[in-house]
Every structure is written in C-alpha cells, then in structure tokens.
Amino acid sequence: MALTDEQRITLHGFNNLTKTLSFNMYDICYTKTKEEREAYIAYIDEQYNSDRLTKILNAVADIIGAHVLNTAKQDYVPQGASVTLLVSEGPIVEVPTDSYEESPGPMPDNVVLQLDKSHITVHTYPEYHPSEGLSTFRADIDVSTCGEISPLKALNYLIHSFDTDIMTIDYRVRGFTRDINGHKLFIDHDINSIQNYIPDAVIEAYDMIDVNVYQEHIFHTKCKLREFDLNNYLFGYTKDKLSEVEQQEIAERLKIEMDEIFYGKNIR
C-alpha cells in the first residue's frame, strides 16, 4: 500500500518524537517445597539468562530497524539478569508500507529503517512467596525509538518469546517534531489501542483491559490468560499426583495470585 501525501509528511530534520513500548510479563508457578522453588528459580535463570535475552533483544532491533552500537549484559547472583542495547540509525533498505497502520508486527526478518538515539532493555525478577508455595517470574522490556516505525511493531515477537500468564503493556509518544513549515507534530501515526498490534489468536487467549489517555498519547493494555490448566502451573509433576482437594486449593491460590497481579491490589 502506497502512503498518501497526507500520511507522508516532510519533516524539518529527522523525527524527534520518542516512542516507548514497555512490555511486562509474569509467569506463575506452584512450588510447594524449598527444593521445588530452588529448581524453578534455577530453570528460569537458565531459560532466560543474559545470553538468550540478548538474542531476543537483537531480534527486536532487527524488527524495528535498529543498528546495535553497544551491548551490556549481566547475570546476577542469586538470580535474575539484565541486558541493555544502545541502538542508532541503520542504513535504509526500504521504507515499509505498513508503518502507519495499526497491525501486529513481523517476526524477525530484514526490516531496516531510520532511527536514532534509542535503546532496548530487559530486566528479570524471579521471586517467591514466603509461605504459600507460589513463585513468580517477571520480565520488564523497554523499547524506546526515535524514528518512523513504532516499537509496537516488536510487540508480536515479544509476546511469542515468553511463556506468560499476565502481560502489562504501555506505549507512550513523547516530545514533538516539526514539519518543514515549523508546525509541531506530537504524534506521527494513528493509534486507537495497543490491542490492534496483537494477533487475533493471542487476543482470543487473554482477557484484556484498555486504559488510554488519547490527548496525552498514553496507551495501556493489561492481559490475563483465560484458560486455566493446573498442569501448566506445577513444577516437576502433574495434577494426577494430587488429591481433588489439593488440586482445588492450589488452583484457588494460583487464581488469586493472578488476579492480584492483574488488578494491582491485594484482594484476599
């Protein structure tokens, strides 16, 4: 689809708008014993160590057309990891025709665009409840760009890179740029909801809530997995090893934990 004259605006200089996507995900697990908890934390640290996180962020950089200038990564003791990529303008191969459309972004390929003064970061936070046998893993990813494409185009890939029960997604456009006549532009693309950048199959799998402040270019979407299978939340065994009463008690604990994270408050 060719962009119209109204869509393609000639700027004075490069695009000074800063577009930031914050993607937060939670994985929840029932770990009854100290040994199960330690095994879960060790599994998470191995599954999402700094090397794998670096690969994920490099794929994000490819999707948004960034050139990686510098990579800093760290695995922490006793648990957790962080990775930061400083990225800058890459060579122009082609300008995508869907830059201005609300739609799920691509999986990694050879998309390359202009952007400058940008960064991509991830931090992980494994933790556990002191007495109720619940362990959680949280990953926070921020993609901040100054360029034509929105970092929302990386959202589809990020969702598919993590096994997640709950997602909290924020998108904000800050600052302004100018057209050749000096007229300020405070946003350079239409957006009604972050959900428009999420594939239908993912939307069908989650309950979602939107909170948007359109006049401030702030968009917020929360997602909680709809289907609940207890086997997905037990570490090292399946529910057939438990009595019906145990299954119900554990399921209730897990559902409360998910609701509290989703709604952001203690509700017991």
Other CB atoms within a 10 A radius of the CB of residue 119 amount to 18
Other CB atoms within a 10 A radius of the CB of residue 70 amount to 10
Per annotation, catalytic residue among 50, 118, 135, 144: 118
Structure token pair of residue 238:
């399946």
Burial code (b: 16+ CB inside 10 Å, e: under 16) for 164-200 equals bbbbbbbbbbbeebeeeeeeebeebbebeebbebbee
Question: Is 99 known to be catalytic?
Answer: no
Looking up tokens 């931090």 gives: 123
Distance CA 252, CA 257 (A): 9
Question: Is 50 known to be catalytic?
Answer: no
Per annotation, catalytic residue among 88, 99, 123, 220: 123
Question: Is 135 known to be catalytic?
Answer: no
Per annotation, catalytic residue among 50, 119, 144, 146: 146
Name the percent of the chain lying above pLDDT 90: 61
Closest to 170 measured CA to CA, from 17, 19, 16: 19
19 class by beta-carbon count within 10 Å (0-12 exposed, 13-18 middle, 19+ buried): buried
Q: Is the pTM of this model over 0.85?
A: no
Name the percent of the chain lying above pLDDT 70: 82
pLDDT in tens, 100-135: 466 666 554 433 334 456 889 999 999 988 888 999
Q: Half-sphere exposure of 134 toward its Cβ, with a 13 Å CA cutoff?
A: 18
pLDDT in tens, 223-268: 999 999 999 999 888 999 999 999 999 999 999 999 999 999 998 7
